[in-house]
Amino acid sequence: MSKMPPWLAPALDYIPQWLGHQMRVTGQPGCAIAIAYRGNVVLEAAFGHADLGKGETLTPRHRFRVASHSKSFTAAGIMKLREQRRLKLDDAAGHYVKGLHPDIAPATIAQLLSHTAGIFRDGTDCAYWVDRAPFSNEARIRKDLKLPPAIDANMRLKYSNHGFALAGLVIEAIAREPYVDWIAREIVKPAGLAETTPDVPLPAKAKFARGHGTKTLLGRRLVFPGDQSTHALAAATGFVSTAGDLAKFFGRLSPNAKTSFLSVASRREMTRPQWRDAYSALPLSYGLGTMSGVLDGWSWFGHSGGFQGYITRTVAVPSEDLSISVLTNAVDGQSHFWLDGALQILKRFKAEGAPTRATKDWSGRWWSVWTAVDLVPMGDKVLLANPDWPNPFLKVPELTIVSRDEARISQAGSFQSFGEPARRVRGKDGKVREIRVGGGKLVPEDVLAKELVGRYEG
């Protein structure tokens, strides 16, 4: 395994601390996170429950429905066939799959993979997305694909699950075997993924995280089984995987990866931005089976997924040789916010560097009645981070260390205590018992809890 840069280890240490607190704040059922460096997993952690009904604790080995992550696997499969010269990206889908509507048949394979073929998103009835009906079988998909497209091809980015189902049929036509069998052998296995399947059923004894509904409707979360087959839509939404496998997969899909299951040329073609989503709230583009964007100067590619009871997201940052996957098992899962937060943590640690000898032991979570505060040392400063926030480092105060237990607030907002002293207060045993910041006092969680109960309930 490649040696990690010095700043990465303290970042990997803090991310689970922050994410565990986020779980407490939001009351989510479960969350799994994995981070890979140069395609090798360097962090795996899980929080909460795999099944609230059974009280089953979530572990990194639990698999999630990862839905539209499937599109990246399907696109990789198409690129593998292209490398084998068994198809071209500008081939018409109708050359391989017969019986399509005359305006869908000319759609190119590249258009299917980039969501620019103009094909409707989910057909005329997508009751399967709310578990009112089974996912469509091949006969139903072929019937839908006899309908005209919603718009002309190459007009704009228009997401289409049916378009990727058609890409799956193209793979079957060329390989002459079921999509799930071919993609498992030709992509999943060569990628080195031991906990990923293109659809259910799962292997015997495989751990599986159940999905969950929102509390808003009933005041409690219902457990969604999540174990229904996606049939002919597997190429669009069938995959089941772990955060660790997804971080590894997208890390090895990076054009910079030293080891991969695809050529550099194929990876570049898949991951380059090709069509921009002009209506996205944040800058977002699509390539061939991959999303892409920029977060505070870091360019990323990856995919997200939404299945009944699951919200998931994975990205790779080629410039940093990093990939991150955050999987949640609720319809209101926070995977998008938490993945961005993890990226912000990694980015700040890279900018500031590993803690120095003077700052490294100024750490820990401390509390006031207002909030928790994390002392996070990095470089020659200590951040007073806010773990309640999706980005815990956003415009937070900073300390400059003056001596072993003395510091000064060297950066802070205008309404905070800029320029004032901070210090650590030790007990008779020499251990730090409280943190003074300006005129305020921060104490351990149990100390504050006892104080507040005594004051307001005593």
Bridge partners for 33 per DSSP? 45, 326
- Chain segment 182-231, per-residue pLDDT in tens: 999 999 999 999 999 999 999 999 999 999 999 999 999 999 999 999 99
Report the distance separating Cα 116 and Cα 151, nearest Å.
9
Note whether 295 and 442 are same-domain residues: no
Report the distance separating Cα 440 and Cα 417, nearest Å.
10
> Does 277 reside within a domain?
yes
Q: What pLDDT is attached to residue 305?
A: 98
Number of domains in the chain: 2
Three-state SS for 237? Answer: helix
Residue 280 has pLDDT above 90, yes or no: no
Note whether 323 and 438 are same-domain residues: no
The single residue listed with the structure tokens 């490294």 is 360
User: Domain holding 312: CATH number?
Assistant: 3.40.710.10
> Does 359 reside within a domain?
no
Note whether 321 and 384 are same-domain residues: no
Residue 95 has pLDDT above 80, yes or no: yes
Phi, psi for residue 386 in degrees, rounded to 5? -110, 100
> Do 162 and 119 touch, CB atoms closer than 8 A?
yes
Note whether 296 and 405 are same-domain residues: no
The domain containing residue 414 runs over which residues?
364-456
Report the distance separating Cα 109 and Cα 388, nearest Å.
45
> Does 344 reside within a domain?
yes
Residue 372 has pLDDT above 90, yes or no: yes
Note whether 331 and 368 are same-domain residues: no
- Tell which of 320, 351, 382 closes a domain: 351
Note whether 308 and 388 are same-domain residues: no
Residue 281 has pLDDT above 90, yes or no: no
Note whether 388 and 313 are same-domain residues: no
